A and B are shown apart, each in its own frame.
Chain A
Amino acid sequence: MTKSDTRVLVTIAALVVYGAIMPFLGFFLTSAAFLLLHMLYLGVRGPLWLTAPIVGLLGTAWFLFENFLGVPLPHGMVY
């Protein structure tokens, strides 16, 4: 098994865990955790690359879906 195969399998596993946790933590918290951990795992470094996607993507999603479009996303116990 090569290194890239490992990365693929870990990503699949991470997505399965993501889906299992989401009903409890809600879309936003679970996604933030996934983005941070997955990017770190893949070797992304630097404060800008690690924060901008999380803030930008989830911020846009929150604004667009929850406020503007009125499409609800799964919420959990905290949010």
Chain B
Amino acid sequence: MIENLLTSAMLAYDPLNLLLIFVGALLGTLFGGTPGISATLSIALLVPVTFGMTPINGLSFLGGAYCGAIYGGSISAILINVPGTPAAVATMMDGYELTKKGQAGVALGGAITASLFGGLIGTFVLLVAAPLVAAAALNIRSAEFFWIVVFAMSTVGAIGGGSVTKGLIAAFLGLILGAVGTHPFTGSLRFTFGVPGLYEGFPVIVGIVGLFSISQVLYLCHGKGMDKQIDIPKIGSLWPGWARILKVKITYIRSAILGTFVGVLPGAGADIASFIGRNEAHRFSKNPSEYGKGSYEAVVGSEAANNAVVGGSLVPMLTLGIPGNAVSAALIGGLLIHGLLPGPRLFTEQAGIIYPFILSLFAANIFFAIAAFAGLKYLAKVVLIPQGVLASVVAILSVLGALSYRNMVADLWIMLFLGVVGYVLRRTGFPLAPIILGIILGPLAESNLERVMTIANARGMSLLEYFTSNTLTVVLMVMSVAALIYSVVREIRHQRSGKALMPLDE
């Protein structure tokens, strides 16, 4: 084990790989810092760049971008009161207040240190937990796996930010899209409408580029391309000082742990983690009245949580193939183009790739922190890019992403179609992340269910009899139903209280 880690570390920290992690972290920070480009988009747009790289190089580069993008969102949130990514919405509330008081540097420094700390903790948990989960998952049988997938889908409504009904509808829409293509057992074609590009189903990366980035292009076209003058406030010293950091050390730790845990849950991502991190910091705070008026503790509370999500979200993604959020779903696209199928076998058959990738995330966190401390003044310039330029550039980047996947012009039309669908859904308040979960998890659930049906048939049992003959399956069934009931209760309570739910989508 120790020897393996040393070999992996040598692969992860060789000079070329370190350079790629650094470039990835830097690009991620720039993309994340740009209002309008979320972490999901950053990954989806950068996946094609990794085509010609070795799997370790490519994944390390994307991992760097993931860490950087989640951090980067805080820059524009703190400086100009516009979240760079939805994960930074919670940071904005106190970060911008600090900027108004002339303490932008303190808020930015708090965000860097908290993101670094949260990111390292999340990665550490990933390194320790993932092999254990993977080892346990090797013994999971089809019936249990099917219900794990169902449970993952049912939590979408329970934890997600927006309307539960709409979240579940979106998840079902994803399942339908996931059914397109060749039937996994019989090989017959479903819903392909004679389009050869659909025979293998909706390609994950084309789907993500379409749903997230083309719909975002259309959103960016809402306003005038170039209207108001943006001023970047004076930043000042970034180092918050040990006194400030140690005073809220518990908040750093609590949010990092909470963020990792939220990351593991299938329905929730960095946006929700940052809200939870901030809320819990508020609840345990010695100075709760400062919240909303420029509290350093609040910035730390949200930022440590959202970067901890990175490591957490990769646990179910790498070990089970169940992405913890939309960003890691995009990362699955990055794995697939290198022929890596996420799942428990990754840790035995592809250990030589997966461990270096996990170890590279430590470097990624350190690199975005170094880049931010050294050059925040320059990184912050991305907020000056006019919306019109962004809209056009993201459109062409999306085309690049769709075309380079398999060089088929049909993918361009699939992308455009999903883009318009995604736009209409977002306009009407549907979250997009559950759709991607559905596209990825649908086939996974189906192939396991087919296997279960074959086994149950052979034993002369009905499906329900077979499911209830196993304790773990029953536990998972109960958990799925409980998650659904909880979602419905939560929705009803929210509608009665009339309070706005927090925004979804990364």
Contact = CB atoms under 8 A, between A and B. Distances in A.
Interface in A5-22: 7-8, 11-12, 15-16, 18-19, 22
Given A7-B222, A44-B389, A22 B412 contact: yes
Interface string A17-32: 0110011000100010
A69 B222 contact: no
B399 A31 contact: yes
Interface stretch (B91-99, B360-368, B390-398): B390-398
A78 interface: no
A72 B413 CA distance: 19
Contact of A35 (B51, B221, B393, B403): B393
Nearest to B399: A31
B460 interface: no
A73 to B, nearest CB: 6
16 contacts: A8-B423, A11-B391, A12-B218, A19-B409, A27-B399, A31-B396, A38-B395, A42-B221, A44-B225, A49-B389, A53-B393, A57-B397, A58-B396, A61-B400, A70-B52, A74-B403
Given A42-B226, A44-B225, A65-B404, 19 more contacts: A8-B423, A12-B420, A31-B396, A31-B399, A34-B392, A34-B395, A35-B392, A39-B225, A42-B221, A43-B224, A43-B225, A44-B389, A49-B389, A57-B393, A57-B396, A71-B52, A71-B407, A73-B403, A73-B404
Given A57-B393, A65-B404, A19 B225 contact: no
Contacts of A34: 392, 395-396
Contacts of A61: 400
A26 to B, nearest CB: 11
B141 to A, nearest CB: 40
A49 B226 contact: yes
A22 B403 CA distance: 11
Nearest to A6: B221
Contacts of A46: 226
Contacts of A43: 224-227, 388
B392 A42 contact: yes
Instruction: Specify the main secondary structure of chain A where it touches its partner.
Output: helix
Interface residues of A, number: 36
B339 interface: no
A22 to B, nearest CB: 7
- B386, B388, B392, B412 — which one has the most chain A CB atoms within 10 A of its CB? B392
A38 B392 contact: yes
Interface of A: 4, 7-8, 11-12, 15-16, 18-19, 22-23, 27, 31, 34-35, 38-39, 42-46, 49, 53, 57-58, 61, 64-65, 68-74
Contacts of B396: 31, 34-35, 57-58
A5 B98 CA distance: 36
A4 B223 contact: yes
Contacts of A15: 214, 395, 416, 419
Contacts of A8: 218, 221-222, 423
A41 B460 CA distance: 66
B10 interface: no
A65 B400 CA distance: 9
B48 interface: yes
B217 interface: yes
Interface string B371-388: 000000000000000111
Contact of A11 (B53, B218, B386): B218
B403 A53 contact: no
A74 B224 contact: no
Contacts of A57: 393, 396-397
B416 A16 contact: yes
B16 interface: no
